[in-house]
Amino acid sequence: MRHTKVKDLLNSTTTLQEINAKGWVRTFRNNQFIALNDGSTINNIQCVVDFENTPEEILKRITTSAAVSVTGDLVESKGAGQKYEIQVKKIEILGDSDAEKFPIQPKKHSLEFLRENAHLRVRTNAFGAIMRVRSVLSFAVHQYFQEKGFVYVNTPIITGTDAEGAGEMFKVTTLPAENAPKNEEGNVDFKQDFFGKETCLTVSGQLVAETYAMALGQVYTFGPTFRAENSNTSRHLAEFWMIEPEVAFNDLTDNMDLAEDFIKYVVKYAVDHCGDDLKFLEGRLTDEEKSKPQAERSEMPLLEKLGFVIENNFKRVSYTEAIDILRDSTPNKKKKFSYIINEWGADLQSEHERYLVEKHFKCPVILFDYPANIKAFYMRLNEDGKTVRAMDILFPGIGEIVGGSQREERFDVLVEKMKALGIDEEELWWYLDTRRFGSAVHSGFGLGFERLVLFVTGMTNIRDVIPFPRTPMNAEF
């Protein structure tokens, strides 16, 4: 007999005869009531066992976390809290479980403890909800770009280009760690390596995506990205997923418009399609906020915060204006920032970004026109000769969620910049070809998918929104 998903049973509009459901026991009360969950929804279905006619050996095996199959009728529930329940006629234990040894007990566990049990944490309400929201968001990403006629491009994960400077890279090699062959200079001889050259895991698909935008017009990537920075923060992963659209003929304003429209679309999509999960996560967040000091509490419940982002324009502010605001700010004057802002040209730290978003503007902010020397080589130089057409989108509670720019399309300017930064023109010969053969204004950005999931789920640690996080000193599972 084919089983029906719990979600479909709970959404049924009529009672039903002879249905089958399969799932995992969340709780078993009074030797009679099973709360059954199969992952299709955050909600459990109540299964009422006929304990008088069920053998004692079977009843004993209905334990938290056991996998079971129940057959019976979907009937109107007499209990509060659910419309329907299953009147069980037959129960089969598919997989026994020693409930006492099961790490996830029906009580509140710390997020740290759950991280150590990342293979089982998805059986909790919170992680089930987070992972369903993550899935819906990734579908929304594709739907947004596909509806707009963008072409999805799979850029390589193994790359021979180490020029973007977006972060430290992980080496990819088949050479032995000990006694690797050496060249005449005494360095590792990568000519003898698998690819005949030094290769790494990609830090971004942008440079290759640009070559595709120069033929297909509008493209996007959505794939894993790797950074070997030793930054053990609640916003950084060594392996994360990034979405990178790249669009021919778009200037920086078009780029900002696209990013803002895109973010609003996917957040709205999640709100429209993840009602039960977001309601649960809102409750979780509200509980968590209660344990914080008043000053650190978020003013809005989760769904209101998401609605706010969907409905309001992001504030667009130049780097220069932002520096003025920060220089005059109370935490700067009182030396509360770890990095005091004195001069134009300073790189912004996340404390500054969060001040702008959370305290000053109290809404998402797009900062643009950054000093050239704190941004990547490929960004379009402005007429002032000292700023570039960069933009970062800053979100409350998150900081930077998007980084992007209009690209330098002028061959000579780009080459000069590369020379100044010591970037090997020969290594990037193919990138420079886009500027040799039919170059055009174009722009793009990268959105860190986990930071988006953090924002939408109201979680605070990035390790809790990816199934198996990769961070310094941690690659378990």
For residue 254, the minimal CB distance to ligand 4AD (Å) is: 14
Question: Radius of gyration (Cα) for the chain, nearest Å?
Answer: 27
Using CB under 6 A as the binding rule, whether residue 204 contacts ligand 4AD is answered as yes
> Do residues 309 and 270 lie in contact, with contact meaning Cβ atoms separated by under 8 Å?
no
Write down the least CB distance from residue 153 to ligand 4AD, Å: 12
> 128 vs 446, which CB is nearer to ligand 4AD?
446
Virtual CA dihedral for 259, 264, 266, 267, nearest 10 degrees?
Answer: 130
Given 403, 404, 458, 469, the residue binding Mg ion (CB under 5 A): 403
x/- string (CB under 6 A) for ligand 4AD, residues 109-148?
Answer: ----------------------------------------
Q: Could you tell me the two tokens for 166?
A: 């977006």
Establish if 403 lies at the interface with ligand 4AD (CB under 6 A).
Answer: yes
Question: Counting contacts by CB under 6 A, is residue 396 touching ligand 4AD?
Answer: no
One of 446, 457, 458, 459 touching ligand 4AD (CB under 6 A): 446
3-state secondary structure of 428: coil
Our CB check for ligand 4AD shows the closer of 131 and 259 to be 259
Choose among 101, 119, 20, 22: nearest CA to 63. 101
Q: Tell me how far, at minimum, the Cβ of 375 lies from Mg ion, in Å.
A: 9
Q: At its nearest, how many Å lie between ligand 4AD and the CB of residue 422?
A: 19
Q: How many CB atoms lie within 10 A of CB 198?
A: 15
Question: Can you say how many angstroms the Cα of residue 378 is from the centroid of all Cα atoms in its chain?
Answer: 25
Q: How many CB atoms lie within 10 A of CB 249?
A: 12
Establish if 469 lies at the interface with ligand 4AD (CB under 6 A): no
Binding of residue 404 to Mg ion (CB under 5 A): no
Question: Residue 125 CB, nearest distance to ligand 4AD (Å)?
Answer: 25
Residue 368 pairs in a beta bridge with: 318, 391
205 belongs to the binding site for Mg ion (CB under 5 A): no
What span, in angstroms and rounded, lies between the C-alpha atoms of 148 and 140?
A: 12
Q: Which stretch binds Mg ion (CB under 5 A): 27-35, 366-374, 375-383, 401-409?
A: 401-409
Asked if 227 is part of the footprint of ligand 4AD (rule: CB under 6 A), the reply reads yes
- Looking at the Cβ atoms of 400 and 408, the one nearer to ligand 4AD is 400
Q: Single out the residue of 242, 326, 381, 453 in contact with ligand 4AD (rule: CB under 6 A).
A: 242
Nearer to ligand 4AD, 260 or 400 (CB): 400
- CB nearer to Mg ion: give 25 or 376: 376
Q: Which stretch binds ligand 4AD (CB under 6 A): 5-13, 291-299, 432-440, 446-454?
A: 446-454
Asked if 236 and 246 count as a contact pair (C-beta separation under 8 A), the reply is no
Site string for ligand 4AD, 163-182 (x = CB under 6 A): ---x----------------
Per DSSP, the residues of 414-425 read: HHHHHHHHT--T
Asked whether position 406 contacts ligand 4AD by CB under 6 A, the answer is no
Spatial distance between the Cα atoms of 463 and 444, rounded to a whole number of angstroms: 27
Supply the DSSP symbol for 360.
Answer: I
- Tell whether residue 444 is a contact of Mg ion (CB under 5 A): no
399 touches, from ligand 4AD, Mg ion, none (C-beta below 5 to 8 Å by class): none
The token pair at 247 is 């669009």
364 binds ligand 4AD (CB under 6 A): no
The site partner of 448 among Mg ion, ligand 4AD, none (C-beta below 5 to 8 Å per kind) is ligand 4AD
Q: Is the dihedral of CA 417, 423, 424, 430 positive or negative?
A: negative
Partner touching 445 among ligand 4AD, Mg ion, none, CB below 5 to 8 Å by kind: ligand 4AD
Per CB under 5 A, contacts with Mg ion among 32-71 are: none
Residue 366 CA to residue 402 CA, distance in Å, equals 9
Q: Exposed, middle or buried: residue 457 (CB in 10 Å: 0-12, 13-18, 19+)?
A: buried
Q: Please give, one letter per residue, the 3-state secondary structure of 56-112.
A: HHHHHHCCCCCEEEEEEEEEECCCCCCCEEEEEEEEEEEECCCCCCCCCCCCCCCHH
Near Mg ion by CB under 5 A, which window of 84-92, 276-284, 369-377, 395-403?
395-403
| Residue 161 CB, nearest approach to ligand 4AD (Å) | 12
Alpha-helical regions (H) of 111-191: 111-116, 125-147
Number of Cβ atoms within 10 Å of the Cβ of 447: 23
| Residue ranges binding ligand 4AD (CB under 6 A) | 166, 204, 206, 227, 236-237, 240, 242, 244, 400-405, 444-446, 448, 450-451
| Residue ranges binding Mg ion (CB under 5 A) | 403
